Amino acid sequence: MRYRFIAVLAAAALMLLPSMAQPSSAQNRRPAAAPAKPTPRWPDGTVRLGPPPGEKGLWQPNGRPILAEPETDPAIKDGQGRGAFSGPPFPGKPKESEVPFQPWARALYEYREANLFEPHTRCKPSGGPRQFITPGGVEFVDMPETKTVYIFDENGPQTFRVIYLDGRPHPKDLFPSYYGHSVGHWEGDTLVVDTVGFNERFWMERQGAPHTDKLHLIERFTRTDSNNMKIEVTIDDPGAYTRPWTTGFFIRWTPNAEAAEYICQDNNQASTMMVGTEESVDRGSRIVP
């Protein structure tokens, strides 16, 4: 599949900021979405997660695409690009202090906040909610004939994730992977996706909330109209949290945008982080991982 990127002034900035995936003002200069139309649907009435017939577009972050509201020093976090997207707050999003971290997980979360060293900046795939928190956005590809939904990353290593809607269960003895194994079903107009089988090689969100290979993720995708999608996430990971917790964020439709060929490794300015230490990160050198 070959794409050509059209539209969005953010594109140029994104190509120059390869894998860092930090939001910039350019990413907020998205073309204004047309007034929202009703949620697009397939002939059988099922919600379309991709574009309506004859149209094109991508989903990009909206609001604060983070899992917990910062409390300690939001100015610093915003300055680092975290939560810098403008948009609506997600109702009921927990504050950092309300997240039921295990002690080690909270300490690691706080450590990560002070030491940006995210695998995403090393062109690694980012599973879980982190998949939706890149400036380039994602593309949903509905495949009703095969009962699958693909979610393509536009940043990072340009990988994709598959959601099976054919009623299959999770396999036993899953080999842990970046995106895990996702099965979904529709509850009214909400796609409910259950994912297990994650590995521990990525951050599941930009702020650095840890997870383990025990992570069980339940995502609820609700396209409320043609321009907006609500993603509610329940994180059930007894390896890192004392109980399941629920949060969420929004993504916004960017009309007329198409995916571009984007090779993270080709211009990776942060790849020394793959082999260096926190004290000796050299962001000036290029090393293809």
- The residue ranges that bind other proteins (CB under 8 A) are 103-104, 106-108, 111-112, 115, 117, 119, 124, 200-203, 210-214, 238-240, 274-279
Q: Which is nearer to other proteins, 106 or 161 (CB)?
A: 106
Q: Which is nearer to other proteins, 25 or 277 (CB)?
A: 277
Q: Which is nearer to other proteins, 87 or 119 (CB)?
A: 119
Tell the smallest beta-carbon distance from residue 282 to other proteins (Å): 14
Tell the smallest beta-carbon distance from residue 20 to other proteins (Å): 16
Tell the smallest beta-carbon distance from residue 182 to other proteins (Å): 20
Q: Which is nearer to other proteins, 111 or 186 (CB)?
A: 111
Q: Which is nearer to other proteins, 260 or 281 (CB)?
A: 281
Tell the smallest beta-carbon distance from residue 118 to other proteins (Å): 8
Tell the smallest beta-carbon distance from residue 119 to other proteins (Å): 6
Tell the smallest beta-carbon distance from residue 35 to other proteins (Å): 42
Q: Which is nearer to other proteins, 94 or 239 (CB)?
A: 239
- Quick one: tokens of 183? 């099965």
Of 176, 195, 196, 177, nearest to 185 (Cα)? Answer: 195
Of 162, 211, 208, 204, nearest to 183 (Cα)? Answer: 162
